[in-house]
Every structure is written in structure tokens, then in C-alpha cells.
């Protein structure tokens, strides 16, 4: 895979005051994304608006499709057409995308999908924050598969993770999700966009060998096959059906197992390379708060108050939520009395944490029905409970 | 002395369309008497006659018996999800404007589950060709009613006959802004080829409906006989009316079928509209994927001249 400096055209270097949504669009442009298909939905619309405004100046194309189903379908066509592609949505639109997320997974099509999460189910509290789609992003499309999901906690990280998301999607040929939320999406903060030459972007891993040897898929290793683009004479075929390495339908149980082992293995066997966390105070910790996105910033207040009260509490912020860094969590669990998991949902990621911890320590869920962030006091209470 | 070729070897070697087909994937899944193969053949014939660079042709299909076309044709090809061929084709075309993108899919796929995409691609005059194999039924799933099934026809989910009003696809396409609209039956292979040739040359959303028999399901359930009987019906009861008012080309159960080129008009394509608009508003700074509009146009002209020269 070729590491290159960002195309300066897409990089608006300097110090900005902008919200998370705008920062996502800037990050995508810096990463070399030049094709965006989307459909408006609060609280994600500003990403599309920013891209639409910027793209004619940077040589990109924005199209507002007729719905979210069409938006993600267009990304699949766009990626095989040779572009880096992105869309953005929120709950209802995310639900509509599910079938074609499966097609992207199955055809190993790189793309970045941002979900600026709002409060459901259904139309719910459409303008208010939540982290309720964390399991949907993982399991929402039919069948067994793996994806990568990142969760930024600030506008700056929206920018940084957008670039990271593109690099991951090119490396693993998998849809990468930026699971942000209304609060981060609409929060204005300082965002520093570095000079283009300091931004490392990964070019697509282009196949360059002889035409007769080209295979769109490779199920043998822990990484996907290089890609070609339409028009280059390779005459690729791709399908959502179970297929062999030529991309041809192959309806056997054996081929299906090989394919699934590959789709799952390329993520599971690379967790250590993919997964990122931000840790603090783990050295002496008796309690650790595991959180992600905006909730980490609320938890930080509870943790500081806990430390003031003499509780040895540390933090692990999941920058990568999926795949979950299971080994690291297990390691922590064997050293502490308890783990606290606050999230703006009724307890989703905590289910996985509980499974991974497997009784090694207490796991306390701090749920929130959505529409607002936690009161730090509630998290502090859970910390106190965990240390008992 | 060489052993004589078996029928299968001869078929693989001597099939006149083998350069356009993935022969290693034959035999195909379609039933005897099915009309899909005729459409594939006519499509391949049109490609053979065209001066297109075959590496720049992509075929996109949805799901269904017709949806399998993408997998059998030796081009960059995407077999997508049910109803979503058009937005995938749209993305491909917009990401890689040099491609000639052709969608081949079924009536249920394009106008039932995918109807929204169909009308919007037509509205935008998206520069793609859409070939609809209209067999009045959901073939792949066993013969259910579709948005084009004629009233009174029998389908597995209208076992007492269909009481809904069907779409007339040329009228729908025309009303939504398609700039090329034609209809043929699978008996009229040469006309299909000619229409596809025209559509491939056409700039903008071109739509070709081909009325075909689904011998196994629709025909059997409605006691219409075999593939030959279908062709007989198309022979006896079809009428060429080029330029017909698309409001008057409805098909009723076993009624007369009006066919021909109904619409052929010029209008800027989606991408032409984008490029012209931004070139006006933003000027030379506007460079879609790194090319200014004049550069892109000069390149296109040079390519066209080169293609003509090589013919
Ligand atoms: C979302 C979704 N719903 C339903 C199906 C089941 N399905 C597969 S093919 C098909 C009908 C295809 O009919 P048509 O497009 O007319 O193609 P034909 O088989 O007649 O060529 C249906 C309903 C599916 N694959 N996906
Ligand atoms: S079921 Fe009908 S449409 Fe499908 S292959 Fe057979 S004849 Fe053709
Ligand atoms: Mg059909």
C-alpha cells in the first residue's frame, strides 16, 4: 500500500473554529475523498453541506441522492469506479443503509460511513444526542461479518479519525464507520488542520500485475487482495452472492466458509494493528471507566472527582470501538476491582465488556436513555460502587 | 488426427459472442424458452457493432433471473442488491465518467423495489443505459405479481387474477425525463440490437424495455404455452409505432403491444449540467477529478476522432 502525502488541494491547513460535522468533511477531503453521495438528516446534514460547498473547488463531486439506500449504493459504484468515497447519515438513514452495507462488506468495497448518532428508536428525539447505534453498526446487516467502527470525542478527532478511517478502509477493504453523535457533531472547538505534507494518507492498494492473473479477492491471508478500477481492462466481476476469488458465484458450503473466515479473519487477526485507545491513570487503578465518544469527556469529570476523593480510578477511551480490544480489557480486568461503562444507550458495548471480562472483576453499566449526556455524578456513583 | 470437437467444445469455441461472455461460467441458469438470453445476445451484438472501447463498458444488474446478466458478461460488472443497480451504476458513472455504464435488470427489480432510483436517474438524465427485461413477473422467486403484471393476469400472489393497475414503463420513463425510450419484444432481436446501439451512442438516460416470456412461471400459470407460443403472440400482436405518444402504449393481458422508439431527445446529461454549471459559476478553478471542463471536452473529442479513425 502506498503512503503518500495528502493532496494539498483538499487540505485547508491552519487553525479553525468548527464543529465536528464540518471537521468530518474536512478530514475526508484531506484523506483524498472526492466522491460523496448523501441524503440530508439531522444532525449529520452539515457534513454533506460542507462537502457540497468545498468539492467544486477541490475537484470532487457531491450528489444528493434520492435516499440513503441510493447513497450507499452509489458509494459501491463509486469505489469500484476508482474513487475514495464517503456518506454520512443518522439513525433512520443508517437503518436504510443496512442491506448495502452487507453488499460492501461482501464485495470488500472500501468506503467511509459517518453516523452522527441521534436518539431513537424510530424518529425518537431527532435533534438530540445518543450512542444507540453501536450494536446496529456491528450487526445491522444480515449474516456474519466484521466492520471497523471509530468514535471521536471532539471536532479535532473528527478530522483526525476521518483520515484514519479512509486509511483503514483502504488497508482492509471494509466499510469503516465513524460513530459520532449529535453533541460532538454540533460542538464548536479549535480544529488544527496540518500542512498537507504532514498528513499521511494511504493510496488504494492498486493491482499492477498481468491481466490474466488478476483476482478481485484473496482468501488466503489476513489482508485483502489489491483492487483494480473499472475501465482499466481487468473486467472484474463482483457480487453479493457467495463467491470464489475470481468473484464468481460459488454456492457451496466450503467456499462460503472460506469466504467468511476471510471476511472475519482480516479484522479479527489484525485487532492489535487496528485498535486504538487513549488510556490514563491505569497504572495504579482499582477502577477503570471504559467509554467512548462524548461520554468519555463526561466521564473525565467523574474520574477527576473520584481521584480527588481518593479513589484510584483510571480511564480507557475506546477510539476504536469495533473491533474491541478484548485482550487489553481482559488484562485490565485481572488487575482491578471493577470496570464502569457509561454510554448513551441502555447498555450496548457493556455487554461485550462483560463477556470479555468473564467475571474477572465487577462490570457496572451506566446507561442513559438518550437525548442528553450523563450527569457526571451518576458515573461517579458507579465508580464508588465499583471500588467497594 | 485430432478428435472431433464435442458440442460443448464447439459451443465454447465458436459462439460468436464468446468475446463478450464469460464462457467459463456457462451453462447459464436460464430456462429453455426464456427471453433473457435473447436480450444478452442482442446487447452483445450491439457492442460488437459499436466503436466503444470494450474496456470502458460496465454492466450492472440487480437481483433476479435477469440480475444474473452482469455475471455472464465479460466486462467490468457488478451484481448488486435487489433494486439497487441504478444507484450503483450512477456512482460508477460519476466516479469514472469515461465509462459507458449499462444496467440490465428485471421489471420487478427496476420498477418495484428500485422504482425510486429509476425515476430519479431519468429525472437527472443520468448518462446510463437501462435495459429492462419485462417478463411481467418476479421470475427468480417463483412468479409473483410485479408492478408491470397486466390486470387479470395470474401470478402466484394473485392466484385469482391481478386486480392492480400496472405501470406502462415507457410512459413512466418519458414522464420522468428519460431522453431515449424504446420498447421491443424478444422476437425482435435485430430491433433490440439497433435500439441498444442507439442507446449506447445517446447522451443521457436511455431506457429500453424488452417484453420477454417467462416460460416457466408467467406463461405456464396463464396457460400461454411455451417459448414459441410467446414468439407467435409477439409476431401476431405487435405493432411498430415509432414516436408513439407514450400515454397510449399500455399493455393489457395478451393485448396488442405497441413498440418502437418512442422518445429520442437531446438534453444535457447530469454530468454535463454539473460541469457547465460549475465552469460558469467557478471558472477554471473547477476541475472535476483534476481536469477542467475544456480539457475534458478536448479529450473526449480526441477520443471520438480516434475511435472513428480506427473503424
Ligand atoms: C430486498 C430483497 N427483497 C426480496 C428479494 C427476493 N427477490 C429476489 S429476485 C426477486 C424478483 C426479481 O424479479 P425481476 O426483477 O422481475 O427479475 P426476473 O427474475 O423476473 O428476471 C425477488 C423479489 C431480494 N433478493 N431482496
Ligand atoms: S424462471 Fe422465467 S425468467 Fe427466470 S429463467 Fe426461467 S423462464 Fe426465465
Ligand atoms: Mg421479471
A241–B contact, CB cutoff 8 A: yes
Q: What is the CATH number of the domain that holds B97?
A: 3.40.50.970
**Nearest-CA distance A131 → chain B (Å):** 29
Residue A202 · residue B40 · CB < 8 Å: no
> Chain A to chain B, count of Cβ pairs less than 8 Å apart?
150
Residues paired with residue B183 on neighbouring β-strands, in sequence order: B209, B260
CA dist., res. A128 & res. A113, Å (int): 20
Are residue B217 and residue B187 in the same domain, yes or no?
yes
Whether B125 contacts chain A with CB within 8 A: no
Residues B76 and B95 in one domain: yes
Pocket of ligand 1 (CB under 6 A): B 63-66, 82, 106-109, 133, 135, 137-141, 146
Q: Is-same-fold flag (A3-202; A278-387)? A: yes
Does B195 lie in the same domain as B295?
A: no
pLDDT of residue B153: 98
Residues B104 and B174 in one domain: yes
Is B215 found in the same domain as B87?
A: yes
B-facing residues of A in 58-77 (CB < 8 A) are: 59-61, 63, 65-67, 69-71, 73-77
Q: Are residues B175 and B58 in the same domain?
A: yes
**Domain assignment present for B9:** no
A235 touching B (Cβ < 8 Å) = yes
CB spacing of A70 vs B116 below 8 angstroms: yes
Asked whether residue B1 is domain-assigned, the answer is no
Q: Please report, in tens digits, the pLDDT of each residue of chain B (311 residues total).
A: 467 788 777 777 778 888 999 999 999 999 999 999 999 999 999 999 999 999 999 999 999 999 999 999 999 999 999 999 999 999 999 999 999 999 999 999 999 999 999 999 999 999 999 999 999 999 999 999 999 999 999 999 999 999 999 999 999 999 999 999 999 999 999 999 999 999 999 999 999 999 999 999 999 999 999 999 999 999 999 999 999 999 999 999 999 999 999 999 999 999 999 999 999 999 888 999 988 878 878 887 887 787 766 55
- Quick one: closest CA in A to B274, which residue? A61
Q: Are residues B138 and B275 in the same domain?
A: no
What contacts A341, CB < 8 A, 6 or more positions away? A289, A290, A291, A347, A349, A350, A353, A363, A364, A365, A366
> Can you give the pLDDT at residue A1?
64
Residue B109 lies in a domain: yes
State in Å: Cα B218 to ligand 3 middle.
9
- Mutation to probe ligand 2, out of B61, B105, B138, B214 (largest number of atoms < 8 A from CB): B214
Alpha-carbon gap, residue A285 to B143, rounded angstroms: 65
Domain ranges, residue B182: 15-267
Does residue B235 sit in the same domain as residue B293? no
Q: What is the CATH number of domain A278-387?
A: 3.40.50.920
In a domain, B149, yes or no: yes
Ligand 2, atom 1, lies closest to the CA of B139
CA dist., res. B198 & res. B189, Å (int): 14
CA B148 to centroid of ligand 1, rounded, Å: 14
Q: Is B122 helix (H, G, I), strand (E, B) or coil?
A: helix
- The SS3 call for residue A117 is strand
The answer to whether B255 faces chain A, any CB pair under 8 Å, is no
- Report the domain count for chain B: 2
Considering CB atoms only, which of B75, B91, B98 is closest to A77? Answer: B91
The verdict on the CB of residue B31 being under 6 Å from ligand 2 is yes
Q: How far is the CA of B181 from the centre of ligand 1 (A)?
A: 24
Give a three-class secondary structure readout of A289-325: EEECCHHHHHHHHHHHHHHHCCCCEEEEEECEEECCC
Locate B37 and state its grid cell: 438470453
Q: Is A120 exposed, middle or buried (0-12, 13-18, 19+ CB in 10 A)?
A: buried
Name every chain A residue with its beta carbon within 8 A of the beta carbon of B84.
69-70, 73, 100, 103
Q: What is the pLDDT of residue B6?
A: 81
Q: How far is the CA of B278 from the centre of ligand 2 (A)?
A: 46
B3 within some domain: no
Tell whether B2 is covered by a domain.
no
Round to whole Å and give the CA distance between A44 and A184.
11
> Both B235 and B276 in a single domain?
no
- Kindly report, residue by residue over A270-301, the tens digit of the pLDDT: 999 999 999 999 999 999 999 999 999 999 99
User: Which strands make up the sheet holding A338-342, listed edge to edge?
Assistant: A277-280, A313-318, A287-291, A338-342, A362-366
Question: What pLDDT, on the 0 to 100 scale, is given for residue A266?
Answer: 98
Question: Quick one: DSSP state of residue A224?
Answer: P
Q: Does A251 touch chain B (CB under 8 A)?
A: no
pLDDT tens, per residue, chain A with 388 residues: 678 889 999 999 999 999 999 999 999 999 999 999 999 999 999 999 999 999 999 999 999 999 999 999 999 999 999 999 999 999 999 999 999 999 999 999 999 999 999 999 999 999 999 999 999 999 999 999 999 999 999 999 999 999 999 999 999 999 999 999 999 999 999 999 999 999 999 999 999 999 999 999 999 989 999 999 999 999 999 999 999 999 999 999 999 999 999 999 999 999 999 999 999 999 999 999 999 999 999 999 999 999 999 999 999 999 999 999 999 999 999 999 999 999 999 999 999 999 999 999 999 999 999 999 999 999 999 999 999 9
Residues 94-153 of A with CB under 8 A from B: 99-100, 103, 107
Tell me, yes or no, whether B8 lies in a domain: no
**Quick check: pTM over 0.95?**
yes
Closest CA to B58 of B128, B147, B118: B128
Under a CB-based contact definition with an 8 Å cutoff, are residues B212 and B137 in contact?
no
What DSSP designation does A213 have?
A: G
Residues B306 and B230 in one domain: no
Q: What is the pLDDT of residue B2?
A: 65
- Give residue limits of the domains in chain A: 3-202, 278-387
Give B-chain residues touching A81 at CB under 8 angstroms.
Answer: 91-96, 99
Q: Which residues contact residue B251 at a Cβ distance below 8 angstroms, ignoring those fewer than 6 apart?
A: B148, B150, B166, B168, B211, B257
Q: Which residues surround ligand 3, an ion (CB under 5 A)?
A: B 106-108, 135, 139
The answer to whether the CB of A310 falls within 8 A of the CB of A363 is no
pLDDT for the residue numbered B3: 73
Q: What architecture does CATH give domain A3-202?
A: 3-Layer(aba) Sandwich (3.40)
Residue nearest to atom 22 of ligand 1 (CA): B141
| Chain A residue whose CA is closest to B285 | A57
B242 lies in the same domain as B175? yes
**Ligand 1: which of B31, B82, B115, B217 to mutate, judged by most atoms within 8 Å of the beta carbon?**
B82
CA of B235 to the centre of ligand 3 (A): 21
B165, B285: one domain: no
Amino acid at each position: 500500500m502506498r503512503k503518500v502525502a495528502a493532496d494539498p488541494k483538499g487540505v485547508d491547513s491552519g487553525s479553525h473554529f468548527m464543529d465536528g460535522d464540518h471537521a468530518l468533511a474536512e478530514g475526508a477531503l484531506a484523506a483524498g475523498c472526492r466522491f460523496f453521495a448523501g441524503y440530508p438528516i439531522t444532525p449529520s446534514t452539515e457534513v454533506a453541506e460542507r462537502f457540497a460547498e468545498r468539492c467544486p473547488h477541490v475537484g470532487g463531486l457531491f450528489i444528493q441522492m434520492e435516499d440513503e439506500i441510493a447513497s450507499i449504493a452509489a458509494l459501491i459504484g463509486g469505489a469500484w469506479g476508482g474513487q475514495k468515497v464517503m456518506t454520512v447519515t443518522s439513525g433512520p438513514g443508517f437503518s436504510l443503509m443496512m442491506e448495502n452495507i452487507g453488499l460492501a462488506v461482501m464485495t470488500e468495497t472500501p468506503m467511509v460511513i459517518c453516523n452522527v448518532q441521534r436518539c431513537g428508536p424510530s424518529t425518537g428525539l431527532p435533534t438530540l444526542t445518543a450512542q444507540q447505534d453501536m450494536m446496529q453498526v456491528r450487526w445491522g446487516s444480515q449474516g456474519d461479518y466484521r466492520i471497523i467502527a471509530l468514535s471521536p470525542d471532539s471536532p479535532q478527532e473528527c478530522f483526525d479519525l476521518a483520515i484514519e478511517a479512509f486509511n483503514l478502509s483502504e488497508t482492509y477493504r471494509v466499510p469503516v464507520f465513524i460513530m459520532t453523535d449529535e453533541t460532538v457533531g454540533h460542538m464548536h472547538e479549535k480544529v488544527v488542520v496540518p500542512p498537507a505534507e504532514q498528513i499521511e494518507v494511504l493510496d488504494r492498494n492498486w493491482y499492477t500485475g498481468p491481466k490474466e492473473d488478476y483476482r478481485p479477492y484473496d482468501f488466503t491471508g489476513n489482508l485483502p487482495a489489491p483492487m483494480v478500477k473499472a475501465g482499466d481492462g481487468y473486467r472484474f466481476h463482483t457480487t453479493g452472492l457467495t463467491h470464489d476469488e475470481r468473484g464468481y458465484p460459488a454456492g457451496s458450503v466450503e467456499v462460503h466458509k472460506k469466504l467468511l473466515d476471510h471476511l472475519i479473519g482480516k479484522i479479527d487477526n489484525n485487532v492489535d494493528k487496528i485498535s486504538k485507545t487513549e488510556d490514563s491513570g491505569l497504572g495504579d487503578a482499582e477502577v477503570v471507566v471504559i467509554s467512548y465518544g462524548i461520554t468519555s469527556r463526561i466521564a473525565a469529570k467523574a474520574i477527576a472527582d473520584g481521584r480527588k476523593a481518593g479513589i484510584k480510578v483510571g480511564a480507557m477511551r475506546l477510539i476504536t470501538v469495533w473491533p474491541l480490544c478484548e485482550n487489553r480489557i481482559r488484562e485490565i480486568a485481572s488487575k482491578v476491582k471493577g470496570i464502569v461503562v457509561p454510554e448513551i444507550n441502555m447498555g450496548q458495548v457493556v455487554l461485550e465488556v462483560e463477556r470479555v471480562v468473564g467475571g474477572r472483576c465487577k462490570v457496572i453499566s451506566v446507561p442513559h436513555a438518550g437525548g442528553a449526556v450523563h450527569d457526571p455524578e451518576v458515573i461517579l456513583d458507579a465508580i464508588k460502587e465499583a471500588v467497594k | 488426427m485430432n478428435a472431433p470437437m464435442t458440442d460443448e467444445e464447439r459451443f465454447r469455441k465458436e459462439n460468436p459472442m464468446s468475446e463478450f461472455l464469460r464462457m467459463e461460467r456457462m451453462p447459464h441458469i436460464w430456462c429453455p424458452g426464456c427471453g433473457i438470453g435473447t436480450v444478452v445476445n442482442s446487447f452483445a451484438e450491439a457492442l460488437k457493432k459499436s466503436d466503444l472501447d470494450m474496456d470502458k463498458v460496465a454492466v450492472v444488474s440487480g437481483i433476479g433471473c435477469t440480475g444474473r446478466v452482469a455475471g455472464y458478461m465479460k466486462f467490468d460488472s457488478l451484481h448488486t442488491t435487489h433494486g439497487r443497480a441504478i444507484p450503483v451504476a450512477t456512482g460508477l458513472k460519476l466516479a469514472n465518467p469515461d465509462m459507458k455504464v449499462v444496467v440490465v435488470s428485471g421489471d420487478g427489480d427496476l420498477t418495484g423495489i428500485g422504482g425510486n432510483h429509476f425515476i430519479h436517474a431519468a429525472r437527472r438524465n443520468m448518462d446510463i443505459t437501462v435495459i429492462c427485461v419485462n417478463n411481467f413477473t418476479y421470475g427468480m422467486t417463483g412468479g409473483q405479481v410485479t408492478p408491470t403484471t397486466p390486470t387479470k393476469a395470474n401470478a402466484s400472489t394473485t392466484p385469482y387474477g391481478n386486480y392492480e393497475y400496472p405501470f406502462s414503463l415507457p410512459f413512466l420513463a418519458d414522464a420522468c425525463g428519460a431522453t431515449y425510450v424504446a420498447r421491443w419484444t424478444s422476437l425482435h432481436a435485430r430491433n433490440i440490437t439497433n435500439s441498444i446501439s442507439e442507446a449506447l451512442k445517446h447522451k443521457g438516460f436511455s431506457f429500453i424495455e424488452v417484453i420477454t416470456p417467462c416460460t416457466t412461471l408467467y406463461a405456464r400459470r396463464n396457460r400461454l404455452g411455451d417459448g414459441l407460443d410467446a414468439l407467435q403472440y409477439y409476431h401476431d400482436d405487435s405493432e411498430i409505432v415509432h414516436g408513439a405518444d407514450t400515454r397510449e402504449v399500455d399493455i393489457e393481458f395478451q393485448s396488442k403491444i405497441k413498440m418502437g422508439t418512442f422518445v429520442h431527445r437531446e438534453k444535457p446529461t447530469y454530468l454535463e449540467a454539473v460541469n457547465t454549471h460549475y465552469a460558469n459559476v467557478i471558472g477554471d478553478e473547477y476541475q472535476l477529478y483534476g481536469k477542467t471542463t475544456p480539457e475534458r471536452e478536448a479529450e473526449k473529442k480526441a477520443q471520438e476522432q480516434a475511435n472513428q479513425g480506427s473503424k
